[in-house]
A and B are shown apart, each in its own frame.
Chain A
Amino acid sequence: MMTLIEWLRPWEPSAPVFIACVLAIGLYAAGMMRGARPGFWAALAFCLGVGLIYGVTQTHYDYYSQYLFSAHRLQHLALHHLGPFLIALSMPSAVLAAGLPSGVRQLPARNGLVGFFKLLRGVYRVIQQPVIAAVLFVGLIYFWLTPSIHFDAMLSIDRYWLMNWTMALDGLLFWWLMFERGDQGATPRLTPGQRILILALIMPPQIALGAYITFSGQNLFDIYAVCGRAFPIDPMLDQQIGGLITWIPASMMSVVAALVILAFRLEKSNEQA
């Protein structure tokens, strides 16, 4: 029986993930101490989102992610969907900005760096174009689940982290685009209808991929057979559970997001009335 300490110990320690999570929570807390008032639910959503990302990468759960396909799919559900969804839902930019030291906040306006930040903003606006964002969101899932690419990613620590980072960052970008509200910033402002259309369009490819994995008669991801799965489980059952996770909860997130967007729209209408 594992102790709590053993569960909390990272299987594959990653300084960048640890630093990013601690920095995010630290900045958020600093922002609140400096007067930002995000509200209880927003703060909870942000902490839960960061906590989820940390939990699936920097605890013993990561061990199961590397030795069970179904656990890996749950890990990516948290990294690409749930965690970034909650973070974006909390719209933390104002709180995080308040937490930054003033010197860092003024960096974009500094003479030598204006061009760099302009370029960064331009790149950000390009990858946040609705079609590009949607293709990237679905494309990355397909890319990392291509059996040969998946094999290589799970066989190399560097590629493994590249996979996880790209999933988390892309998830953040996508859900940020979906939930962007408040003052106009660098993120393209889409109408609720456009957002719901994108959410509807990304569902069928995820459903198709999940169904393909679930109903495939062959073992598609043989990397999990190299060392053996974390515990004795039929490889096909493991694959079917992983397929269902790719299929149902991942697609359901689109429905939940559409409801959230409609709620925001109603809230705005009520304010204007």
Chain B
Amino acid sequence: MCSLSNQPFHYQGQAVLTLRQIDRMNGVIKGSAFRAFKRVADTLIEGEDYFVLAMDELKTRSADPALNALHAAMLSADALYPSSRVVVLITQTAYARLQRAANLSSS
């Protein structure tokens, strides 16, 4: 597996990971990172700990080159589940909480 695909992306000045990257990094099945996210969702703040981007927006937006670049980078790193219509980006702080909630590895 390409190690580059698990490199964090940068969004709004923060290093972020997609749910697919977290699943892959931990060698767990699709949905495991989202399950951990659901366990701690009440303690996280959207816009600080995680970001939610609509895939349709990502696909169509051209006015924001940074977002276009992020989308292209995520696609090339195979960091998105094909059936997802929403991208959840997890910051390092939130990932630490996910790890505690689900015993995910710290790799």
Contacts and interface: CB of A to CB of B under 8 A. Distances in A.
Interface string B73-87: 000000001111110
> For chain B, which range describes its interface: under 10, 10 to 19, 20 to 34, or 35 or more residues?
10 to 19
Contacts of A63: 29, 31
Contacts of B82: 228, 232
Contacts of A230: 30-31
Nearest to A227: B34
A225 B35 contact: no
Contacts, number: 53
B34 to A, nearest CB: 4
A227 B30 contact: yes
B14 to A, nearest CB: 20
Interface string A126-155: 000000000000000000000000000011
A222 B83 contact: no
B85 A222 contact: yes
Contacts of A175: none
A176 interface: no
A12 B42 CA distance: 17
Interface residues of A, number: 22
A157 interface: yes
B41 interface: yes
Contacts of B81: 227-228
Contact of A227 (B39, B42, B88): B88
Given A227-B30, A230-B31, A235 B85 contact: yes
A228 B84 contact: yes
B38 interface: yes
Contacts of A160: 38
B88 A155 contact: no
A130 to B, nearest CB: 37
Interface of A: 11-12, 63, 66-67, 154-157, 160, 219, 222, 225-233, 235
